Amino acid sequence: MKKIGILFGKERSFPEAFVKRVNELAGDEFQAEYVSIDKIFQAEPLGYAVIVDRISQDVPFYRAALKNAAITGTAVINNPFWWSADEKFFNNALAVKLGIPVPKTALIPSREHPDDTSDASFSNLAYPMDWEAIFEYTGFPAYMKPFDGGGWKEVYKLHDREDFFDKHSQTKQTVMMLQEEIEFDEYFRCYCIGGKYVRIMQYEPRNPFHLRYVVENGPSSDELLSTIHDYVITLNQYLGYDFNTVEFAVRDGIPYAIDFCNPAPDAEVTSVGQDNFDWVVDTSARYAIERAREQVDGLDNLTWGTYLKSAASGAPLVDNALITIQPTPDEKPATAVKKAAANKTPVAKKPAAAAPKAKKASPAKKK
């Protein structure tokens, strides 16, 4: 019997429900369980047809183990090779090429030298940076955040150039992005499973964590939801993610993709609410079974996105042809989001701590 495993960290409700749901659906065909690792030898399999990865972004040992499992034929959700290579600034650039609106975003070098480097390592970095052009491009207010990673870590709202230099002085060796603020009228967070199943959830990031899925008014139009649905699928099919979330801030009727590099998105019931939780558990379980049925030992069973497949084949990286949009397994986008809007389940989480106050730093330090 093929095994479907889930690799996870501190979370509990989603892994438990996922294993239970797979076993309910699979009968005698597959067995779901928590992944157990007691040794890793090169090119030797772990014994799983499918592994759902929820933690390797924080544990390098797991990331290396999953790559080893993948090369022996395990279908890892998400592709550990692409996940290792991907980052938020590239995602924004890809969205621009795909014609999907995103905030104006500039890449900012780290304030401090990386370990084992010196001034000489940065011979190609201009001194000083063209800060005026950068600030004119993004405008203020703006947000500064790491070009990679997630969890609302080291995210700063900046009001002017002095605020930028003050906060940037605190970021040490982290490469940052400076991003235009989108003053939004509506906000949505969307699950995407298998690059084809979408759950659109109204979301209010300005609320406390336990109230972020509590939105008083419904979405402004079905047309907006349809556009968001198609953008979600396009982004995930190009990136090749099997399990991801995409967030949109809507300004003047235009949905801007704000954050779409979340391959281990929050799925705890106390956070997302019961209706959204039930959907993501059931849909991810069904998709894992689908992948297990397709899995063949000794072959590559990973998902590779349209971006990489186009590059490898020599085809244009962005084709003018539309990606095939498949319907969700249960209901239309507008129906789903209206049902999910009133969730009021509490959550026990804390927002990211505010950055400590620091003295204003000059940008004159050479990188």
> Comparing C-alpha atoms, which of 70, 18, 51, 63 is closest to residue 282?
18
Q: What is the pLDDT of residue 212?
A: 87
Mean pLDDT, rounded, of the chain: 88
Q: How many CA atoms does the CB half-sphere of 112 hold within 13 Å?
A: 9
Question: Which domains, and CATH codes, for the chain?
Answer: 2-84 (3.40.50.20), 105-180 (3.30.1490), 186-340 (3.30.470.20)
* pLDDT higher than 60, residue 340: no
Mean pLDDT value across residues 258-275: 94
Record the pTM: 0.86
Q: What is the pLDDT of residue 46?
A: 95
Are the C-beta atoms of 266 and 189 separated by less than 8 Å? no
Q: What is the pLDDT of residue 364?
A: 37
- Whether cis (ω within 30° of 0) applies to the bond prior to 109 is no
* pLDDT higher than 60, residue 321: no
Q: Measure Cα distances from 246 to 12, 109, 142, 251 in Å.
A: 23, 26, 20, 16
CA distance 191 to 264: 11
* Per-residue model confidence as pLDDT tens digits over 16-75: 999 999 999 999 999 999 999 999 999 999 999 999 999 999 999 999 999 999 999 999
| Residues in a beta bridge with 51 | 5, 76
CA distance 113 to 158: 23
> Comparing C-alpha atoms, which of 212, 215, 223, 293 is closest to residue 245?
212
Q: What is the pLDDT of residue 151?
A: 60
Q: What is the pLDDT of residue 290?
A: 98
CA distance 299 to 291: 13
Parallel, antiparallel, or unpaired for β 176-180 and 105-108? antiparallel
> Comparing C-alpha atoms, which of 24, 22, 28 is closest to residue 51?
22
